[in-house]
Every structure is written in structure tokens, then in C-alpha cells.
């Protein structure tokens, strides 16, 4: 080959390499403080029995559990060990064995071992806040890093539940702060947090901010990338959007997230929108719990769904980011059937069913909604559709105390009607069903009635060990709810965070229950 041709060939190859290197993913960089906008301040940081979803989300930078959701969530049980190195379930011996990772330190320098894990779980049991507690027989520390939980009976829901329900908190820090006084410990736990995660809590001012600093002794080598997190709590969307556009914040959410309108607007302006499979589908929950409720008449429940134009409402409220739901579960979930649409929009059919049920001149009812603007807007849209089809709906807008006091664990009276609330999307949809809709739910959303037939199916579902069998019974269970119009699914708003172009995050890839903050990094900007 001539020298000139050879040099030309080398030049071409170098040029091609430069061009294609532009498509390569940038390498993570160390350093920087991630400035986060959160919409709602937590109320409790480190006493599990008194913590809600917003509280757990707020402590993501510092909290870790024994197990968590995998990215491949609908296969092999959908969970992976985190602080546990290994988990062994023996359905025949009725045991769950947690092998704890060695040499993991809390932020105060104390060690995570089997006794500390036992203490964390026992705290929840003592407060009568452990889900599926009837399955729990006892615990024993076999050695420094091995904890065995003995069962009264097997359920496939126990490991993802008990292994995640309590993040691991420092027993030493609690005992030092409380001095053995439970009330004093709870009060300390409202504003203090000592975990094992990649960031340590430096300062918390309720409704103002949380400041996290890098954990220099974090057990995952080479992590975290960031030097810290700073979360400001800004409930007003207009203010939050202005701060993002002024580049005074790097990410909006969690805890909480931007309204759909703001998400759509900011994406058009060049911001990134990080989203994945999690969504909190909105639905109408109907009072079928009280035996004398008028809603025991299936015709009235069916009339509700026929009356609502889900596609039009979703388009108006979701700004192109949400999806209407023909049924629960949504596309991609266990039990989804693209051909299943039990009650498409048909207001004439709704009026016909109302008349058949004895309400030819309309049915008066109240729809309980949360006080936030998004919930009020959705409630107003629902009310308009229902009233156009012959109902006479009145909105009942409630503050958090009254709203959650009404829908959680409180048996409804015969005259209570409907409430607008979310349904979850968990590691797999059998777990979603068990946690939200079953006869043994995590939180008893009180309007939903249950039957002996459903209870029998629930028991059968929990005994299954094969993934395919679990998927099959999920479809059966959800069809039971949908065929009987026990809930009216409306729309699926995907969880999302709005980020500056320089932010790289894994948020929502592993659901609502986990954000690998140790993997978050920022490009120089």
C-alpha cells in the first residue's frame, strides 16, 4: 500500500472513531450537590409504624432495606438482596432466613447485624403495624449475621413485604436518644435519621429543607458519585417551575412530582423527563363494604363507568402524558388483556341502568376527593360526566386528616358513597392486588367490600410458588374486581421527575420503593 493511501485510510478511521464516540454514553463523574425540589415535607423520618409513603420517599438518600425491587421485577419474584446478602425461603419448614451482609456501618458508626435487624422488625410488630402478622410465628438470631423468621403458614408475599417494609435504622442511635422511653424515641424520630445509605442527614427543617452529605464509609465501593443532596420543599407548582427554569434546582421530585401540565411545558423547553413503569392509577372506590349501601346494586356501579369518557378526561387532565384505563391492571402488567373493555363510554346505557335500579330521576351521591388542585380538577370532571348521565353528584373536598381518616381502616356508613383515590403498581401485579384490593390489604381502603369467594382466591394465590401460576391467578383476581365493577379505573399517570440536562438518574427504574441515589451523578455545568 502506498504511503499516501495508508495515511488517508488512517485519517478516515480516526474520523469515524471520533464521530461514533459522540454516541457513547458519558462516564459518571464525581462531585456536586444535587438540588432537589420536593412538593411535600415528611412528617416522620425514622419510626416505621408512623411513616407514610411521602416519609419513606423523603429518606431515599440515606435509607436501605434488606431487599428491594429489581429492574426485572416480574420475573423470579421481582426482588433482590440489598442489606441482606442472601434470602432463603423454605415453604415446607416454614422459615425465612436472612443472611446479613458483613461490615455494614450505620451513619453513627454502629454495625448492622442480625440483632439490629431483629430489633427493627420487632419495633413494627410491637406497634401492631406489621402486615401479614398472622403469618409471623417468631424470630431467632442464629449467629451474628443470620436471622431466621419462623412462620405459622407460608405466603409468597412475605419476603417482599417484611424485607422492605422497614428500612434499617440504627438501634444504638435510637437507644441513645430515647433512653428507653418510647414516646421520647418517637419524638426524636420525627426529625432525625440514622441509616446505612450513601448519604447522611445533616439538617432537617420541616416544610423548609433536608440537607444530606456524602457517607464516607458507604459499603458499596466507589459510591456515591455526588457529594450531597439538598431538598427544598416547594408545594406551589408555579414557584417550583420558575426555580427550575432559572437553573436554581437540578431535579423536581421526589418526594412528590410536578403536575402534568408543568411536566409537558418543561419538556418542550428542553428539560429531561425521567419516567419508568411506576404509576399510581386513579380510580373511583365505591362503598360496597356496608351491607346496606345503595352501591350493593351492581347496576349502579356499572352506570358509573358507562357515564365517564375516560379518553377525553385523560387527555384534558394529563396533557398527553397519561393513559386512559379500560381496566386494572394497565398494559404490561400481569392480568392485562388488550381486548378487555367491560364498560366503554355510553351515557345512554348509564341512564338506562339508573332507571332499572329505581332512579329514573337521578341518584344523589357524594364524591370524596383530596384537597389538592389536581384531585379537585379530576373530581370536577368526573362530576360533570356523571351528572350529564343522570346522577346528581356533589363534590366533598377534604383536607388530609379527614380524607385519610375516612378512607383508611374506618368502616363506612350506609350513606357514604364514592371516593377518588389511587391504586398502586408494585413489584408485580399480584403484589399490587394483595396490597391494595385483597381481603388482607396493607391499608384497608375501607369502601371496598369483600366476599368469602374472594377470600378463598386470596388464600390460593398466596400459596403459589411458580411465577406462571402467580401470573395466571392475578388475571383471575383482577377480573373478579372488574367484572363486578367493584372499582372504576380511570387513568394511569406515570411517575416522573423533571431534570436538568446535566443530571443522570436511575429514578423510578426500580419502582416507588427504591431510588439508587448512589448511582446519581451530574455532568459539569
492 phi and psi angles, rounded to 5 deg: -115, 100
Average pLDDT over residues 119-147: 96
Q: Which residue has the cell 372506590?
A: 285
The pLDDT, as a whole number, for residue 220 is 96
State which fold the 281-492 domain adopts.
Dipeptide-binding Protein; domain 3 (3.10.105)
Strand order in the sheet with 146-151: 84-90, 95-100, 146-151, 136-143
Task: State whether residue 470 is helix, strand or coil.
Answer: helix
Residue 309's CB is within 10 A of a number of other CB atoms, namely: 17
91 vs 519: CA distance, rounded Å: 35
- Stated pTM of the model: 0.86
Q: What is the DSSP letter of 134?
A: G
The pLDDT, as a whole number, for residue 24 is 64
210 vs 500: CA distance, rounded Å: 20
Q: Judge whether 254 and 515 are in contact, CB under 8 Å.
A: yes
145 phi and psi angles, rounded to 5 deg: -120, 15
State pLDDT tens for residues 177-233. 999 999 999 999 999 999 999 999 999 999 999 999 999 999 999 999 999 999 999
Query: E strands, 337-473, where?
Result: 363-370, 391-398, 418-423
3-state helix, strand, coil in the chain (%, to 5): 35, 20, 40
Those residues with Cβ within 8 angstroms of residue 395's Cβ, 6 or more apart along the chain or in another chain: 366, 367, 369, 376, 379, 380, 383
Q: b vs e for 226-255, b when ≥16 Cβ sit within 10 Å of the residue's Cβ?
A: bebbbbbbbeebeebbebbeeeebbbbbbb
Domain boundaries, the chain: 33-38+197-276+496-522, 67-172, 281-492
Task: Give the architecture-level CATH label for domain 67-172.
Answer: Alpha-Beta Complex (3.90)
Please, which pLDDT band fits residue 18 given cuts at 50, 70 and 90?
very low
Three cell numbers, residue 483: 367484572
Task: Give the architecture-level CATH label for domain 33-38+197-276+496-522.
Answer: 3-Layer(aba) Sandwich (3.40)
Q: What is the DSSP letter of 111?
A: B
The pLDDT, as a whole number, for residue 74 is 66
Q: What is the DSSP letter of 155?
A: -
The pLDDT, as a whole number, for residue 483 is 97
Amino acid at each position: 500500500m502506498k504511503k499516501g493511501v495508508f495515511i488517508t485510510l488512517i485519517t478516515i478511521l480516526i474520523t469515524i472513531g471520533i464521530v461514533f464516540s459522540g454516541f457513547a454514553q458519558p462516564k459518571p463523574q464525581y462531585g456536586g450537590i444535587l438540588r432537589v425540589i420536593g412538593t411535600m415535607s415528611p412528617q416522620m423520618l425514622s419510626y416505621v409504624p408512623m411513616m407514610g409513603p411521602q416519609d419513606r420517599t423523603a429518606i431515599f438518600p440515606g435509607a436501605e432495606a434488606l431487599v428491594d425491587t429489581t429492574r426485572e421485577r416480574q420475573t423470579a419474584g421481582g426482588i433482590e438482596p440489598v442489606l441482606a446478602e442472601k434470602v432463603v425461603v423454605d415453604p415446607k419448614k416454614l422459615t425465612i432466613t436472612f443472611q446479613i451482609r458483613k461490615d455494614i456501618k450505620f451513619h453513627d458508626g454502629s454495625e448492622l447485624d442480625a440483632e439490629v435487624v431483629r430489633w427493627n422488625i420487632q419495633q413494627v410488630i410491637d406497634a401492631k403495624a406489621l402486615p401479614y402478622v398472622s403469618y409471623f410465628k417468631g424470630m431467632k438470631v442464629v449467629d451474628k449475621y443470620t436471622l431466621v423468621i419462623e412462620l405459622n403458614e407460608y405466603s409468597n408475599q412475605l419476603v417482599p413485604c417484611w424485607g422492605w417494609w422497614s428500612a434499617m435504622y440504627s438501634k444504638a442511635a435510637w437507644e441513645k436518644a430515647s433512653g428507653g422511653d418510647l414516646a421520647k424515641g418517637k419524638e426524636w424520630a420525627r426529625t432525625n435519621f440514622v441509616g446505612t445509605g450513601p448519604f447522611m442527614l445533616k439538617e432537617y427543617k420541616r416544610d423548609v429543607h433536608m440537607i444530606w452529605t456524602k457517607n464516607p464509609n458507604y459499603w458499596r465501593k466507589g459510591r456515591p458519585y455526588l457529594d450531597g443532596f439538598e431538598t427544598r420543599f416547594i408545594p406551589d407548582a408555579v414557584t417550583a417551575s420558575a426555580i427550575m427554569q432559572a437553573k436554581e434546582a437540578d431535579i423536581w421530585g421526589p418526594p412528590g412530582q410536578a403536575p402534568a401540565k408543568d411536566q409537558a411545558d418543561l419538556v418542550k423547553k428542553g428539560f429531561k423527563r425521567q419516567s419508568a413503569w411506576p404509576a399510581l392509577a386513579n380510580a373511583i372506590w365505591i362503598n360496597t363494604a356496608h351491607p346496606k349501601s345503595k352501591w350493593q346494586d351492581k347496576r349502579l356501579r356499572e352506570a358509573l363507568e358507562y357515564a365517564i369518557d375516560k379518553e377525553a378526561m385523560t387527555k384534558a387532565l394529563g396533557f398527553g402524558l397519561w393513559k386512559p384505563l379500560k381496566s386494572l391492571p394497565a398494559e404490561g402488567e400481569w392480568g392485562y388483556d388488550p381486548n378487555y373493555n367491560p364498560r366503554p363510554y355510553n351515557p345512554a346505557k348509564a341512564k338506562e341502568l339508573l332507571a332499572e335500579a329505581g332512579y329514573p330521576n337521578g341518584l344523589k351521591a357524594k364524591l370524596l376527593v383530596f384537597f389538592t388542585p389536581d384531585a379537585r380538577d379530576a373530581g370536577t370532571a368526573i362530576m360533570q360526566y356523571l351528572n350529564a348521565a343522570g346522577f346528581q353528584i356533589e363534590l366533598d373536598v377534604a383536607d388530609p386528616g379527614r380524607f385519610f381518616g375516612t378512607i383508611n381502616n374506618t368502616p363506612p356508613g350506609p350513606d357514604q358513597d364514592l371516593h377518588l383515590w389511587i391504586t398502586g403498581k408494585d413489584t408485580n401485579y399480584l403484589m399490587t392486588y394483595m396490597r391494595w384490593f385483597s381481603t388482607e390489604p396493607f391499608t384497608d381502603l375501607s369502601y371496598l367490600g369483600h366476599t368469602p369467594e374472594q377470600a378463598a382466591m386470596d388464600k390460593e394465590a398466596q400459596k403459589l410458588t411458580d411465577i406462571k401460576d402467580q401470573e395466571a391467578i392475578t388475571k383471575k383476581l383482577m377480573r373478579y374486581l372488574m367484572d363486578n365493577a367493584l372499582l372504576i379505573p380511570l387513568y394511569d399517570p406515570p411517575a416522573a421527575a423533571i431534570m436538568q440536562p446535566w443530571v443522570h438518574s436511575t429514578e423510578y427504574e426500580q419502582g416507588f420503593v427504591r431510588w439508587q441515589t448512589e448511582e446519581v451523578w451530574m455532568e459539569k455545568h
